[in-house]
């Protein structure tokens, strides 16, 4: 099931929580990994992996790290809501360097996008109101805005240069759900690893977008491109419903929108925005 890619795979953001999971699990399955991050790698270095500290602002360094790689797993950059100036360099300029490296090497990109790129869509009242991946971007902050930009850059590089890319809109990837919203958005570590494996080893991906959540009956999200790479999640948040289903924020903004707590950061509207982003009501 987990056939190792023939070429090395570059993983940015390797020292982050998800990067560490991927480094450990993919190396254990025989992948040859090149790991990079601005922060030191905090774990014992896996077999068949090398690590180099690097800033995403270093375009030449990234080109050098990507040389000979068949895929780039881009989990680097700012991973939470921050002021625009903080997000700008790593998440905008840094992503450009990733795609330039991929263009030169003819490598596939897996971009760690986020549900925060669409966070101001309202939560569905029932399953038939789920949104599909062709929904409008409605970012809930500067972090989410950078993820929308990242998906659009993937579209550009596919249309203009033929760079294949898989954009995974990560919901809430933690060991287990911790509050009611995560019954809809949770992604298990095991499902993440399976998703990354499919994204890299599928014969073709083109430009595709996938809702990166486990098999949660309460999911906010509907159709995507997962069939193109052969991924199906195997875990579910329902096992934690009795434990966390009653845990909510009490904030009407947070509970209204899919992006949860990020929607309330700096929120200054007096009334909620409409379901249609271009409506006045």
Phi–psi pair at 33, nearest 5 degrees:
-120, 140
For residues 144 and 2, give the distance between their C-alpha atoms in angstroms, rounded to a whole number. Answer: 31
- The total of other beta-carbon atoms located within 10 Å of residue 194's CB is 20
Spatial contact of 153 and 101, defined as CB atoms under 8 Å apart: no
- Of 279, 261, 18, 16, nearest in space to 141 by CA: 261
CA dihedral 71, 90, 212, 227 (to 10 degrees): -40
153, two tokens: 């850059």
Identified catalytic residue from 96, 99, 142, 143: 143
Active site (annotated) includes residue 99: no
Angle at the Cα of 199 from the Cα atoms of 231 and 67, rounded to 5 degrees: 170
- E runs forming strands in 59-164: 71-74, 108-114
Phi–psi pair at 243, nearest 5 degrees:
-80, -40
Q: What is the 3-state secondary structure of 135-200? A: CCCCCCCHHHHHHHHHHHHHHHHHHHHCCCEEEEEECEECCCCCCCCHHHHEECHHHHHHHHHHHH
Point out the residues that are catalytic.
143
């Amino acid at each position: 099931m987990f056939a190792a890619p023939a070429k090395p795979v570059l993983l940015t953001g390797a020292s982050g929580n998800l990067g560490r999971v991927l480094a450990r699990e993919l190396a254990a399955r025989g992948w040859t990994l090149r790991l990079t991050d601005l922060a030191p790698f905090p774990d014992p270095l896996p077999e068949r992996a090398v690590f180099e500290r690097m800033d995403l602002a270093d375009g030449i360094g990234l080109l050098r790290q990507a040389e000979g790689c068949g895929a780039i797993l881009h989990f680097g950059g700012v991973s939470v809501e921050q002021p625009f100036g903080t997000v700008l360099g790593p998440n905008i300029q840094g992503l450009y360097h990733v795609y330039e490296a991929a263009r030169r090497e003819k490598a596939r990109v897996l971009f760690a996008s986020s549900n925060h790129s669409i966070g101001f869509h309202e939560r569905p009242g029932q399953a038939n109101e789920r949104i599909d991946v062709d929904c409008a971007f409605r970012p809930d902050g500067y972090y989410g805005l950078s993820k929308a930009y990242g998906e659009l850059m993937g579209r550009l590089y596919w249309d203009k240069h033929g760079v294949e890319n898989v954009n995974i809109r990560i919901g809430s990837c933690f060991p287990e759900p911790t509050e009611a919203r995560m019954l809809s958005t949770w992604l298990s570590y095991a499902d993440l690893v399976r998703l990354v494996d499919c994204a890299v080893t599928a014969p073709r991906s083109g430009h595709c977008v996938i809702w990166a959540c486990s098999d949660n009956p309460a999911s906010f999200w509907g159709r995507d491109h997962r069939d193109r790479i052969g991924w199906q999640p195997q875990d579910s948040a329902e096992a934690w419903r009795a434990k966390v289903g009653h845990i909510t924020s009490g904030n009407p903004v947070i509970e209204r929108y899919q992006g949860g707590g990020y929607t309330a950061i700096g929120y200054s509207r007096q009334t909620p925005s409409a379901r249609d982003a271009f409506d006045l009501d």
